[in-house]
Structure 1
Amino acid sequence: MPTIVHFDVPADDLERAKEFYSGLFGWNFEHPPGMEDYYLIETTGLDGEEGVRGGMGHRGSPEQRMAGYIGVPSVDEYAEKVTDAGGKILNRMPVPGWGYLAICLDTENNIFGLWEENSDAK
């Protein structure tokens, strides 16, 4: 069953947001290689097990909010399901070496993402 596999936190001040979330929830932040304006976030569940991973980068627009990403076997297949259900695909792109991403809008104007892991993505 598809489930949330990633979340993104947009921030106006990355260091301030990093301090807030690490202090509040104990989240760990790391820069991935070559991405100095983006952090990967590691979380831990209440049971001590690894939690959902996330990312944090600069806010793209004043309207941008925190968004969840749903892991699916095929972005193409689920993008079609989104439109069939009345939603919209706002953007679709490869993330080279990692997978495929689609940014979607549901019927209530909420943004969410679809994520397909694929190390062959180009």
Structure 2
Amino acid sequence: MKNPVGYFEIPVNDLDRATRFYEVVFGYQFERTIIDGIEMGLFPSNHQAQGITGALVKGDTYVPGKEGSRLYFSTGNIDETLDKVLSLGGSVLYPKTSIGKLGWVAEFEDVEGNCIALHCE
């Protein structure tokens, strides 16, 4: 059985700004494309690896916001990641918090207004 989620999209208003933000915070390189008239910055993917991938998306029906679902990005160091977020104009919404044996979590607002979560073991 595969994991229940296979792909995600993060809504953005300014694809260039959002791409720069995620490139600096996480070190990702994006592939830019347009699919069915929707501008996209595709996160890196390796279909042989576990986990899912997704895209930053700009289109009429994509509205950034803090409400709704939370995406958890894995990071090796939450403190360093939050420092990068703050240096790029993002903000901390939920500070680094222990979740016991499962590690640590935090949430931040990206430069587009989305709430993104972090997890570190």
Between structure 1 and structure 2, the one with the greater Rg is: 1
User: Which TM-score band applies after superposition, normalised by the shorter structure?
Assistant: 0.3 to 0.5
Give TM-score, length-normalised by structure 1. 0.46
More strand by percentage: 1
Give TM-score, length-normalised by structure 2. 0.47
